[in-house]
Structure 1
């Protein structure tokens, strides 16, 4: 009825306009001056009202086309079959999770002591370290509903959609309580708020904060929210405070003992040859995450099948480690002899300086091209190091720059092969200056807000430190040029060198 009245009024105004235009042309006055002005104002109002309703109609159509996401979220409400016994290498973290599991299963004894279950648990750390697995294990251990969501699922270009989805998520959690909500990559909706108060990101985060504060259930209906992120530094402080995410648990890459435990879990049902040493594999996988180790074990099994073996051998594991770290070997390489020679000296430079400065334990050197590089030095370490001195970091930079330095000494020019090396060296130098206070700029750090006014100082200091490291590297290689040449020639001939072969070459050709 309202729509018909609106169109009738619009038609009437249009008709009056036509009559008015006709009257002006014929010089005939149908309406007094005041009446014409009132009609003109009415027409203007009706016209803008028409535009408003038209735009609102289009907006509502666009909003209606937004995926509701209800079906996908419903499909992600499940019972987890993973137990904490299936999680290896995270013993300290498992103790914290076991306490939460015990609270969910035996809430009464905690209630008697006046203890409250943490409302939220934030798991943060590098990718592939087991954050999702821990959340799933908590749900499996307590036999509760496990609602999985990703931070990106809540983000849309239409304002209000994300907040609506957050409300729906918590409503579904209340229906299925006791349950565990797991929000992966929570930084997608939990990043620090900007000044645009009505932006979609801000509204979604505000709704999440409200929901975490607002839900109150009976004691037997428990909801635990677990968030996972690789970037805790960008999360909003309101999200991190007690009462929302009460526990912050860091999950880093596993140490040697943890890597061995992870290997035991992943090789439990696999036929291993008697020669396989999980201890050696744990050493060779230094610095890798649990996800990398899982991939290595699976890759070793695939290689054993490909070679028609009945058991997985140590060679399969060695090849799998190389494939995961360095990439797939290129069988039909088109690298020229000249480039192959340059790569030989480049990798020989890395290996020699790294060995002389005792930066790494070198496992293998190769100039067989892979999908990621033309050559590589495979490092291993029997010890996990957590603290580095200024001298340690400078030596690491020197070993990284040794490839380019070797090219300059032997060929008199440098190539593009040091691109990744320069990125790594620059990251270390900038960390020393801006994070660790290991430069002539003093015992201070430079956070984001301080960078803008100090960029010139930082750049000058970084150049000075980098140039000093490069000059020292050139000096070391020039003093041991005969040894560098011997390693490179042997590498060019055989394409690979083991750590023992490298040690023998250095022992026989080192400058004394």
Structure 2
């Protein structure tokens, strides 16, 4: 019994220590994930010059930077200091870099933390950490607090939430409302991939005044990002950054940085003094498809199936003019036994119904080619079918591109689920039949591509074009 009492006393002391001690000036949790004085001196050297492809966002932030650097002229006009900014969008698009650059532009102390650092099982700990963070930020003003993955601490409150999480969020709301003093030059930047998860009280004007979307870079932005990440790297004269930008459609700034770094590593491995096109192309394939499996053994029958599967994708894409084929390969990479690299003809912000249907036909081209040649299908079309299903579902529920009506269907409403499922099957079956018909009319082209592919293991876009141009077979294009 004595030992049990001792353990209870120790637990009680530990609990009260966590509850109250961290409110003190020298608390060990004053700034989550940092060491007090070291954190105060964190003034980033990054500026907007180090950020590429986000000109519109930088222009939007210039007003706030100017306010922090020239507060008096704004006060003279009666302008109030913006309290917070939310960066939202896909991961890897530069949200953290922008926050650091903004702190560098204003020569402000920078406090980067993660939302998960405030999530604790003990009631009151997260709230006390919020208080400590804001106290430090006020003492070292001008300062920038950056909360990455803010949805971890700022998600919408409901009856299922625990009291610790609610207290932490409430403390954050209170601290942000406390920026009414003219001598406080502190701004809070939050970053999230899911803006829809955040509590409405957090997003209202007066707390996070500006919501800025940061999406995937377009062609020009990707070229600028590549230029930034290759400025200190020796490149061969024939390396065309615009062409590389075209090959990296849909990639984020993080992907592009990884490609530039992988290309440099490959050049060193090969004993080269400059980075060439081969290294960049190899790096792109690594990022998209994974590491090449040099010692992978594929039986001849499977190799033939893969060849027809990939050739089916490439041929349909070429005939329907969906994308420009960059490369087709049957060399295993990552989890894939083969792959096709496509280059979009242009960066589209909108897609028509015809374009979506044609894209579905390209995805179904591999499975249709297997059925046409082998009268059987393999498991290799799993990811293709998953993407086709998602496109068809989005067309029906979000774009109103189906026979069941021009309206948007709420995903939570199961009232129309059976009708939607039937329409999904109808659209996929229509695309599959059309794809199969195109391949039947161009079977000799399919065979020629496969024969060349089996000889060389890979073909580039120019070689595929030459095979198709040299043939007199009829072409079928969807209306």
Same fold (TM over 0.5): yes
**Equivalent residues in 2 for 1:22-61 (5 A)?**
58=11, 61=14
1:348 to 301, 308, 311: 311
- Shift in Å, 1:91: 0.7
CA distance in 2, matches of 1:167, 1:235: 20
Find the counterpart in structure 1 of residue 477 from structure 2.
none
Secondary structure of the residue that 1:117 maps to in structure 2? coil
Unpaired runs of 5+ residues, structure 1, are 1-6, 8-50
Q: Does 1:508 align with 2:470?
A: yes
Offset of 1:246 from its aligned partner? 0.8
Deviation digits for residues 375-420 of structure 1 (CA, Å, limit 9, x no counterpart): 1111113521101011111111111111111111111111111111
Q: Taking structure 1 as reference, are residues 118 and 337 closer, same or farther at Cα in structure 2, changes over 3 Å only?
A: same
Return the alpha-carbon distance in structure 2 between the equivalents of residues 70 and 417 of structure 1: 53
CA contact (8 A) 2:148 2:190 kept: yes
2:412 pairs, out of 437, 449, 456, with 449
CA gap 1:429/1:54 in 2 versus in 1, 3 angstroms:
same
Question: Does 1:461 pair with 2:423?
Answer: yes
> Are residue 404 (structure 1) and residue 367 (structure 2) matched?
yes
Q: Please say if 1:104 is aligned against 2:68.
A: yes
1:296 aligns with 2:259: yes
1:496 and 2:458 equivalent? yes
Using structure 2 for the length normalisation, give the TM-score.
0.91
8 Å contact from structure 1 (residues 151, 188) kept in 2: yes
1:201-233: CA deviations, max 9, x gaps? Answer: 3332222222211233333x2111101111112
The SS at the match of 1:462 is helix
State the match for 1:133 in structure 2: 97
Q: CA deviation at 1:69?
A: 4.3
Tell me the equivalent position of 1:358: 321
Counterparts of 1:311-326 in structure 2, within 5 Å, are 311-326=274-289
**Structure-to-structure mapping, 1:420-459, within 5 angstroms:** 420-450=383-413, 452-459=414-421
Shift of 1:164: 2.3
Match of 1:118 in 2: 82
Q: Distance in 1 between matches of 2:185 and 2:355?
A: 49
Where does residue 187 of structure 1 map in the other structure? 151
Distance 2:162 2:258 in 1: 43
Q: Is the 8 A contact 2:236 2:275 kept in 1?
A: yes
- Could you tell me whether the CA contact under 8 Å between 1:480 and 1:510 is conserved in 2? no
Alignment match, 1:475: 437
Q: Within 2, Cα distance between the matches of 1:453 and 1:160?
A: 43
2:125 paired residue number: 161
Q: Is the 8 A contact 2:366 2:381 kept in 1?
A: yes
CA offsets 1:60-89 (integer angstroms, 9 cap, x no match): 646768996446233555111101111111
Match of 1:203 in 2: 167
Return closer, same or farther for 1:427/1:143 CA change in 2, 3 Å cut-off. Answer: same
Match of 2:352 among 389, 413, 417: 389
209 and 441 in structure 1: CA distance in 2 versus 1, 3 angstrom threshold:
farther
Contact map agreement 2:83 2:179 (CA 8 A) in 1: no
1:151 to 92, 110, 115: 115
1:72-111 equivalent positions in 2, closer than 5 A = 72-74=33-35, 76-77=39-40, 78-111=42-75
1:346 Cα deviation from its structure 2 partner = 0.6
For 1:153-200, what per-residue CA distance to the aligned partner results, in whole angstroms no more than 9, with x for missing partners? 111233332222222221221222210000111111122222136433
TM-score under structure 1 length normalisation = 0.85
Larger Rg: 1
